[in-house]
Amino acid sequence: MKQQIILTLVVIAVTAFLGGYGLGSLNDNSNSLTTSEIINVSSESSAVDVDTLTIGFIPVEKADELTPKAKALETFLENELGIDVKIVVPTDYEAIIEGMRFGHIDAAFMDTGPAWITHQRTGAEAVMAELVEGKVNYQATVWTLADNDSIHSLADTVGKRVAFTSITGSSGFVRPMGTLVTEGYVTIEGDDIVALESALAHNFESYTFAGGYKSALELLLNGNVDAAFGSDVAPQKYLELGDQVKLRPAATIGPVPSHVFMVNSDMSESTRDALVDALIKLNYDENNHILKDLYGAEALVPTTTTMHIGEFGDYIDALTGLDQLILDSYNKSK
């Protein structure tokens, strides 16, 4: 009976997962979990073949505030897996990547960009994605003034005055600029960050890194730029209603993935499955507060690196020299 309950909850989580990727419902035979290789849900109990697991967390400025919340997860996993679990909160992602590479860190919660870089450098794989507001992603969007009739697509921003959030911003730079490059609207002549910056200067009348969603939108409202890049909900989150109506979404660029849970490439299948089974139990009502306290995520749903990050990872790869800047942006020791 217990295994049936667990399996039912997994299916509920997977339903949300499929919806988040626009893959339809479980009743759609073309997306049947019994025939798809995307997710393998087993009712068989999984055996842990290690004595301890070390789990890393996304670097945060106030690690002392996260540590007690992480301890709650540590205790939960120890009870579920029957082994010692150690939680570490490093000051930068380099420590997690090197830890993954040399087997000192077995798994980690990671932001999308660093997760892709970790996958590229160590072979680590995403096995779970965070569900936030019922979705595993949000939409990168081009914003312009409501009365601006010159911008109706991402391609229309080429040659215009634009505001990015930051050079490492997912929806505010990586997704829009990466799309412009991969779709051939912008060409980068070279293989380093200097070449990327040169492409920016060459393809836009002017560009600025505003520092965040609100600042980019304010530049747009003040007439300093023709378009601002950011998330689909940025105006309603950061602007008063009177300013919101002055803007319109010129184009929806595409999804930006939520945070993921990565596992070391050396982890055995049985241990990985046991860990995933335990994490799924964080979706239960009695355990869900542990997950929500960490990052505000509602649930964890099964995924794969290719499905959740693959396309977004292509945009990071297309923007030369950006990978190290992404890692540096999370370095809290600087």
Question: Using a CB cutoff of 8 Å and minimum separation of 24, what contacts does 68-76 make?
Answer: 69/290, 69/293, 69/294, 70/294, 72/290, 72/293, 73/282, 73/290, 73/291, 73/294, 76/278, 76/282, 76/287, 76/290
Question: Please, what are the domains in the chain?
Answer: 2-135+259-305 (3.40.190.10), 137-256 (3.40.190.10)
pLDDT per residue, tens digit, the chain (334 aa), is 444 444 444 444 444 444 555 544 333 333 332 233 334 444 445 689 999 999 998 876 566 777 788 889 999 999 999 999 999 888 888 999 999 999 999 999 999 999 999 999 999 999 999 998 889 999 999 999 999 999 999 999 999 999 999 999 999 999 999 999 999 999 999 999 999 999 999 999 999 999 999 999 999 999 999 999 999 999 999 999 999 999 999 999 999 999 999 999 999 999 999 999 999 999 999 999 999 988 788 999 999 999 999 899 999 999 999 998 998 888 766 5
| Distance (Å, whole) CA 293 – CA 97 | 25
User: Residue 231 — φ and ψ, nearest 5°?
Assistant: -85, 165
CB 200 within 8 A of CB 166: no
Q: Tell the residue number behind the tokens 């923007």, with chain if given.
A: 319
Element (H, E) at 144: strand 137-145
Is 239:164 a contact under the CB 8 Å cutoff? no
In the chain, the N- to C-terminal Cα span, in Å, equals 52
**pLDDT on residue 16:** 47
Sign (positive or negative) of CA dihedral 257, 258, 262, 268: negative
Euclidean distance between CA atoms 140 and 92, whole angstroms? 26
- Residue 271 CB: number of other CB atoms within 10 A? 22
Which pTM was predicted?
A: 0.81
Residue 253 sits at φ, ψ, to 5 deg, of: -80, -45
Convert 210-237 to b/e letters by CB count within 10 Å (16 or more is b).
Answer: bebbbbbbbbbbeeebbbbbbbbebbee
